Amino acid sequence: MVKEFAHSNPLAHTLQRRKPACSQTGKERLWRSKSRAYHLVAALVVGLLLPGAIATAASALDETEASHLLRMAGHIEWPATAFARRDSAIVVGVVGSAGVYEALRKMAPGRQVDGRSMAVLQLDRPQANASVHLLYIGVEAWDKLPLWMSVYQDRPVVVATNAPQAVDRGATFGFVRTSHRVALEASLSAAEQSGVRLSSGVLRVADRVVGSQR
């Protein structure tokens, strides 16, 4: 009787034919649901890990620039008038980069250049009377770069910055950041204008040197 009903009822044939399709659709929906869940978890993992990876890379670049600053101090010849006493420390002033300041604060203790210790000073505004010998201008102070440079112009203060076209804008040292390293640029002309001399060692370690000094 059931067979006869199925044979004579078109709707029964339709329902029987659709059963496999309904089953397949359910599997597809389950797969799609799992796929969406997987991609959501993956996105969350990337979202959690990526900021940490970026922060680690930035910290490494800050440390590299701090290391360059301390190394460059050994290639700079300041006039005797730049120091109050024969044993006065070489002061590195930092503005616009908490990362570089912290890196220098950790690296500087115990370092000496020509018998002088290294001191680190954090600045928040230009101070013409500040006893600074090497000034680093970070990204947070790029917009005031001309102001900072004008305050210390014609003084024995060496300016270093990672601002774009640094040495072409009057800085003595420029740090060019890439994704994995920091290239060093130097301006002999800027050094001479500041009343200091750079040793020939700069030519060996710098990736680019512009200008000349007498």
Residue 48 has pLDDT above 60, yes or no: no
State both tokens at 95. Answer: 């503005």
Q: What are 152-201's pLDDT values in tens digits? A: 888 899 999 999 999 999 999 999 988 778 899 999 999 999 999 999 88
pLDDT at residue 5 tops 90: no
Q: How far apart are the first and last CA of the chain?
A: 114
Q: Domain segments of the chain: what residues?
A: 2-51, 59-210
pLDDT at site 130? 74
| Cβ–Cβ under 8 Å, residues 159 and 171 | yes
Q: Which residue has the tokens 């930092």?
A: 94
In this predicted model, what pLDDT tens digit does every residue of 63-78 receive, in sequence order? 999 999 999 999 999 9
Question: What gap in Å lies between CA 213 and CA 48, rounded to an integer?
Answer: 50
Between these two residues, 83 and 49, which has the higher pLDDT value?
83
% of the chain with per-residue pLDDT over 90: 52
Q: Are strands 116-122 and 173-177 parallel, antiparallel or unpaired?
A: unpaired
* CATH code for the structural domain at 59-210: 3.40.50.2300
CA neighbor of 145 nearest in space, from 167, 177, 119, 129: 167
The mean per-residue pLDDT over the stretch 26-47 comes to 53
Query: Which of 38-47, 81-90, 125-134 shows the lowest per-residue confidence on average (mean pLDDT)?
Result: 38-47
Predicted pLDDT of residue 77: 95
Q: Averaged over 14-36, what is the pLDDT?
A: 53
How many residues does the structure list for the chain?
A: 214
pLDDT, position 154: 80
Q: Is the pTM of this model over 0.85?
A: no
Please name the amino acid found at residue 68: H
Instruction: Return the axis-axis angle of helices 10-73 and 98-107, rounded to nearest 10°.
Output: 50
Taking the C-alpha atoms of residue 174 and residue 166, their distance in angstroms, rounded to an integer, is 5
- The string of pLDDT tens digits covering residues 111-124 is 999 999 999 999 98
